[in-house]
Amino acid sequence: MPRTSAAEISALIKERIKNYQKELKLEETGVVVEVGDGIAQIYGLENCLAAELLEFPHDITGLALNLAEDSVGAVIFGEDEQIKEGDTVKRTGRVLETRVGEELLGRVVSPLGEPKDGRGPIKTTKIRPVEFKAPGIIKRQPVDTPVQTGLKAIDAMTPIGRGQRELIIGDRQTGKTAIAIDTIINQKFTHTPEAAKLGYRPLYCIYVAIGQKSSTVAKTVETLRKYGAMDYTIVVSADASEPAPLQWLAPYAGCAMGEYFMFAGKDALVIYDDLSKHAIAYRELALLLRRPPGREAYPGDIFYSHSRLLERAARMNKDNGGGSLTALPVIETKAGDVTAYIPTNVISITDGQIFLESGLFNAGIRPAMNAGISVSRVGGAAQIKAMSRVAGRLKLDIAQYNDLKAFAEFSSELDEVSRAQLERGKRVQEILKQPQFEPMPVEEQVVVIFAATNGFVDDLAVERLHDFERGYLDFMRSRKANILATLREKKVMDKETDESLRAAIKEFKEMFA
């Protein structure tokens, strides 16, 4: 993935502010008294505003972050070798902005909205401030429309609604990014004419890669392109080789790009991968700016920096366009410790979490979601009614299985009812396993979960369940497509559909046996 040079970054910002500076006729200047590690201390600039862009010599730009009594602390976008003590710094009168719009779809961009994929310039004149006040409660409406991830375990037990903030949390290499990528791939259906007829609104996706290796970002982009998901996706990349200010800026820029769609009355999904690295980048900036360190050396406003980002996710009411912005922040834990500082902060900001466990992942359960700790505070409001009906029994079966599994390890004998519950739980957990990059339409999820929770697979060996599932879905698509169509269109499990589905499962089981 090509890296944006310091000169390119500064030239782009310089071009944007040149006209504004002429109009405002700003003459206020300051003098650099100290520079190093990407930070400049400036004497003067008495009327400088927080988060205002500053103009350094040699077409280099910076951002005012610390406003002291007689000095300003600024971060420098790019390399600082050309800046020396005594250099003059000018105000611009502008806050930092990024490019937005439909023209960015399908592209890999920097936090400033400039291309990083070598596919030519982006022709858009639309810009938005990277920092923006979250919509007030009066402008919002309750979350009641699902974001289908295509993953059975998540859509059934921890549903995500449009306008929600759902945390994806877990140790390294437990499948956090995989869930995010599958969710993006699954939105392809929402951009089809069939989805429009059924009342589904298109969901535009923004994937923000913070502090990752450039090769990892390139691999993610290639995967999205392979499955046709880049057509409705923007990838904002601030990889590990970028300066800390750009890594700190990336999620706010991605949020601004999502807000463009929300305020245009459309639906957007933004994924921050991940906010642990964002917190580290912000800690680096804060320490270099000599802000007093707090717990674990993080700055005192680290909670506020994440809350003001995630609070911008919302579902607007009809009077304000009816658009939505859904946020899926990712947090990396150490040894599964969700009580650590940054995980605790983000858990308290979000509307639920999907907790991924290393033990489950290593046991071959994918997604490795711990059903006990994972929760969605929106619940059934973010599910179609057919899924709500079958999912309640699913949660009960999983909970009973987890309780009995621990008990059975210390007991040689179980009564018949407990043994039946244990066997049912094994099969339900097995049927929830799902390969990566194979998201499933919600109506197919419903018929699979219905078969598992209503005892139709209790007499099958666990190792045969995936063969059963594949054959069952092929059978439903080819011979019972009317049932799937009914669930897709009506989104409810009425008595007639229930009876038809039971008969279809029995018919297939005879063939499968």
Give catalytic residues, as residue numbers. 377
**Residue 163 and residue 326: Cα distance in Å, rounded?**
4
CA 398 distance to own-chain centroid: 26
* DSSP, residue by residue, 323-384: -EEEEEEEEE-STT-TTSHHHHHHHHHSSEEEEE-HHHHHTT-SS-B-TTT-EESSGGGGS-
- Pairing outcome for strands 324-332 and 267-273: parallel
Residue whose C-alpha is closest to residue 297's, from 286, 310, 313, 308:
286
Q: What is the DSSP letter of 3?
A: P
Phi, psi of 146 (to 5 degrees): -75, 150
Give CA separation, 452 vs 131, 191, 392, in Å.
47, 31, 13
- Cα-based angle 222, 367, 383 (whole degrees, multiple of 5): 100
Q: Summarize the chain as % helix, strand, coil (round to 5).
A: 45, 20, 35
Q: What is the DSSP letter of 139?
A: G
Give CA separation, 275 vs 6, 310, 359, 477, in Å.
24, 11, 23, 41
Category of 88 on φ-ψ map: left (φ > 0), alpha (ψ -120 to 50) or beta: beta
Q: How far apart are the first and last CA of the chain?
A: 52
Cβ–Cβ < 8 Å for 305, 275:
no
CA 195 distance to own-chain centroid: 23
Radius of gyration of the chain (CA): 26
Q: Looking at the DSSP assignment, which residues form a beta bridge with residue 209?
A: 237, 273
Residues 6+ apart with CB under 8 A from 322: 141, 265, 316
